[in-house]
Amino acid sequence: MPQSNIMPGFRPAISLTLVYLALIVLIPLSAMLLKSMQLSLDEYWAILNNKRVLASFRVSFGSALIAAAIAAVFGFIIAWSLVRYTFPGKRLFDALIDLPFALPTAVAGIVLATIYEPQGWIGKLVMDNFGIQIAYKPLGIVVALIFIGLPFVVRTIEPVLQELDTATEEAAASLGATRLQAFVKVILPNILPATITGFAMAFARGVGEYGSVIFIAGNMPYISEIICLIFLKLCRF
C-alpha cells in the first residue's frame, strides 16, 4: 500500500517555489552572466581600472562599512533597551524599527533627501550650527544606509538577548564581578555572533542599496557616486 504524503500539497508548493526561484533569481542572474561573458578580459580590466569606477567602489564600500559599524553599535543599544526595559511607547518604537522593511526604498530615499538637504529640517539645522552638509555628500549615503541597516542588527540581536538567562549575570555579580566584567565575560560572548551577523547583513545590504541612496547621494563623480549607478549606466550603454 503506497504511503500517503505527510505534507499535503507538498508538490504544488515545491513547484511554485521552483518557478518563483527561476523567475526572480535564476533568470536575471543568467542574463547578467551571459551579458558579462560578452566582454573580453581587456574590457573587464579597462572598466575596473577606470578612476571613476574605483572612486565609486571606495564610496560604496566605505560608506557601507561605516554605516554597518554604526548600526551594529546603536542596534545593540536599541535591542538591549527593548528587551531589558519597559518604557512608554515601547510597542510603537518596536514597530518603527521595522519601518525600513515595509517602506519602499525610493520613498525612503526621497524622504531622507528632503529632511537632510541643506534647506531641509535637519539638514539646515546641522548646516547652520556645525557647517556640515549631509545630503549630496558621502555623509548622506552613510545616514541612508544606517536607516536601512539598523533593523537587521536589532532583529538579529533581540532574540539572543531574550533567550539569555539573567541568572548567569546574577551569578557573576554574586561572585564579585562588576557590571562591566559581567557584560564582557557573560553577555558579550553570547551576543557577539549575532552582532557580527547583523553587521554583515547591514554591510551586504548597504553595498548593493540603490533606491534609498540614489536620491540623497547627489551622484557626483569621484565624490558621492555609488557603484550601483555605474553598473546601471554600463547596462544601458
Question: Mean pLDDT over residues 68-84, rounded?
Answer: 93
Q: Are residues 76 and 180 in the same domain?
A: yes
CA dihedral (219, 223, 224, 229) positive or negative: positive
Q: Are residues 225 and 156 in the same domain?
A: yes
In the structure grid, which three cell numbers stand for residue 54, read together? 574605483
Q: Are residues 122 and 67 in the same domain?
A: yes
Q: How far apart are CA 20 and CA 2, in angstroms?
A: 30
DSSP state of 3: P
Q: Are residues 54 and 150 in the same domain?
A: yes
For residue 139, the model assigns a pLDDT of 92
In the structure grid, which three cell numbers stand for residue 76, read together? 545593540
Asked if 136 and 201 count as a contact pair (C-beta separation under 8 A), the reply is no
For residue 220, the model assigns a pLDDT of 83
For residue 101, the model assigns a pLDDT of 87
Q: How far apart are CA 7 and CA 115, in angstroms?
A: 50
Q: Are residues 14 and 55 in the same domain?
A: no
Q: Are residues 198 and 231 in the same domain?
A: yes
Domain count for the chain, please give it. 2
Q: How far apart are CA 216 and CA 219, in angstroms?
A: 8
Note whether residue 44 is domain-resident: no
pLDDT in tens, 21-67: 777 777 777 877 777 777 777 777 877 788 888 888 999 999 999 99
Q: How far apart are CA 72 and CA 150, in angstroms?
A: 7
Note whether residue 76 is domain-resident: yes
Question: Mean pLDDT over residues 201-211, rounded?
Answer: 90
Q: Are residues 1 and 85 in the same domain?
A: no
In the structure grid, which three cell numbers stand for residue 226, read together? 555609488
Q: Are residues 4 and 78 in the same domain?
A: no
For residue 78, the model assigns a pLDDT of 94
Closest CA to 69 of 199, 205, 213, 206: 199
Ramachandran quadrant class, 50 (left: phi over 0; alpha: psi -120 to 50; beta: rest): beta
* Domain residue limits at 26: 1-33
Note whether residue 39 is domain-resident: no
Closest CA to 221 of 139, 146, 136: 136
Note whether residue 102 is domain-resident: yes
Note whether residue 38 is domain-resident: no
CA dihedral (203, 207, 209, 214) positive or negative: positive
Residue 135 has pLDDT above 70, yes or no: yes
Q: Are residues 22 and 114 in the same domain?
A: no
Note whether residue 40 is domain-resident: no
Query: In Å, what is the CA distance from 165 to each residue of 37, 85, 91, 141, 178?
Result: 53, 15, 23, 38, 17
Amino acid, res. 58: R
Q: How far apart are CA 137 and CA 235, in angstroms?
A: 25
The CATH number of residue 193's host domain is: 1.10.3720.10
Q: Are residues 24 and 57 in the same domain?
A: no
For residue 152, the model assigns a pLDDT of 94
Tell me what the pLDDT averaged over the chain comes to: 85
Closest CA to 90 of 186, 14, 158, 188: 158
Q: Are residues 225 and 113 in the same domain?
A: yes
The pLDDT > 70 percentage for the chain reads 94
- Give 64: exposed, middle or buried? Use CB within 10 Å, 0-12, 13-18, 19+: buried
Q: How far apart are CA 201 and CA 195, in angstroms?
A: 10
Q: Are residues 110 and 224 in the same domain?
A: yes
